[in-house]
Amino acid sequence: MERTAVNPWDWSLRMGFNQAEIIEGATRQVTCSGQTAVDDNGASQHPGDMRAQIALALDNLEAVLEGAGMTLANVTRLGVYTTDIEEALRNFDLMGMRFGPHQVKPPMTLLGVTQLALPDLMFEIDATATD
């Protein structure tokens, strides 16, 4: 698979994502449902702690990708949902810490929502991955 970044402006690069990517030579695509800060039984974790919720949601996303034989390096699209955009952005360095070593900046949408599936959840991330 070959990825070609499309960035008519560079401001998104400073935030850790490309405006678009051209994906060529892909053979498989995995669409991941939203991953949140839940344990193995689906119980919400870390109420009120955005940083811990982001970290666990990313752990869960990585587990799903691993189950499909992929890593964060394969992610070609992210959807991020949060009940507190300002707090999520204050902790977005976690995104860079996870995706940075893979040298990918998948196109991303960040949306503020009033509530997620469980009342204690503050952050959810879904992804499309390709290899």
Q: Tens of pLDDT along 44-68?
A: 999 999 999 999 999 999 999 999 9
pLDDT of residue 15: 86
Please state, in angstroms and rounded to a whole number, the distance separating the CA atoms of residues 99 and 73: 7
Output the CATH code of domain 29-130.
Answer: 3.30.1330.40
Please state, in angstroms and rounded to a whole number, the distance separating the CA atoms of residues 46 and 120: 8
pTM over 0.85: yes
Please state, in angstroms and rounded to a whole number, the distance separating the CA atoms of residues 50 and 124: 11
52 Cβ neighbours under 8 A, 6+ residues apart: 37, 45, 46
CA distances from 87 to 52, 80, 91, 119 (A): 12, 13, 7, 17
Residue 69 pLDDT > 90: yes
